[in-house]
């Protein structure tokens, strides 16, 4: 049976950040009593409790991420200190390829998983203006548009609040239902009026 020697977390972080798949090759050995415990691929490698897949996703290393998932699919559902899954990270950095990879290999309802702020991956994709990821997530589960975060923000509200009007239009056209509510007692129409006033106007959303 093959084993992986214990590797330094910094070494693993750097390999994930660079997509250096060769880092694993020298570490493989046959059973040998002199070896330490086999390396646990699920073990966090940062102080934020990021897994190696979180890190690979952050740096958009798609082939490296695919290799990790092939080694252990349980990585897909792991959460870090702020309860982000790798899907949250993929949505945040706008990596459609890894987003699709994670969705295809999840054994749970990863699309609906929330972090400590009750954000779904859709909230993060909208917040950072990554329309391709928004479209991918909604195509998989249109009902995500109904989910509110801890601040009471829907994805539609966030899109308007961040002046991501193309994303707002997409949500309006492709989600069967969506809440209009937002934080601090405001709704989508309130914030749209404010943002339009500070942006010299904008074509009517959904028009």
CATH of the domain at 88: 1.25.40.20
Q: How many distinct structural domains can be found in the chain?
A: 1
Q: Does residue 142 sit within a domain?
A: no
Helix (H, G, I), strand (E, B) or coil at 179: coil
In a domain, 62, yes or no: yes
Element (H, E) at 87: helix 86-93
Give the pLDDT of the chain (207 residues) as one tens digit per residue. Answer: 334 456 789 999 999 999 999 887 755 444 444 334 446 899 999 999 999 999 999 999 999 999 999 999 999 999 999 999 999 999 999 999 999 999 999 988 999 999 999 999 999 999 999 999 999 999 999 999 999 999 989 999 899 888 898 998 899 888 877 665 555 555 545 344 434 544 545 545 554
pLDDT score of 199: 54
Range of the domain at 45: 1-17+39-116
pLDDT at 169: 87
Distance CA 80, CA 54 (A): 8
Report yes or no on 54 lying in a domain: yes
């Amino acid at each position: 049976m093959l084993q992986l020697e214990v590797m330094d977390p910094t070494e693993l972080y750097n390999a994930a950040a660079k997509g250096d798949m060769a880092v694993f090759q020298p570490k493989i050995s046959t059973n040998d009593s002199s070896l330490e415990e086999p390396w646990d691929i699920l073990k966090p490698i940062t102080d934020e409790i990021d897994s190696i897949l979180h890190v690979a996703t952050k740096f958009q290393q798609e082939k490296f991420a695919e290799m990790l998932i092939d080694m252990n699919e349980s990585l897909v559902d792991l959460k870090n200190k702020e309860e982000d899954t790798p899907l949250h990270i993929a949505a945040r950095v706008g990596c459609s390829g890894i987003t699709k990879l994670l969705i295809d290999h999840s054994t749970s309802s990863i699309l609906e998983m929330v972090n400590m702020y009750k954000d779904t991956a859709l909230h993060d994709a909208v917040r950072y203006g990554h329309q391709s990821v928004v479209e991918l997530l909604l195509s998989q589960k249109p009902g995500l548009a109904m989910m509110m975060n801890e601040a009471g923000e829907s994805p539609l509200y966030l899109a308007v609040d961040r002046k991501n009007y193309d994303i707002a239009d997409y949500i309006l056209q492709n989600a069967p239902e969506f809440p209009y509510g937002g934080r601090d007692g405001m709704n989508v129409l309130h914030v749209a009026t404010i943002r339009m006033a500070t942006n010299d106007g904008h074509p009517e959303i959904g028009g």
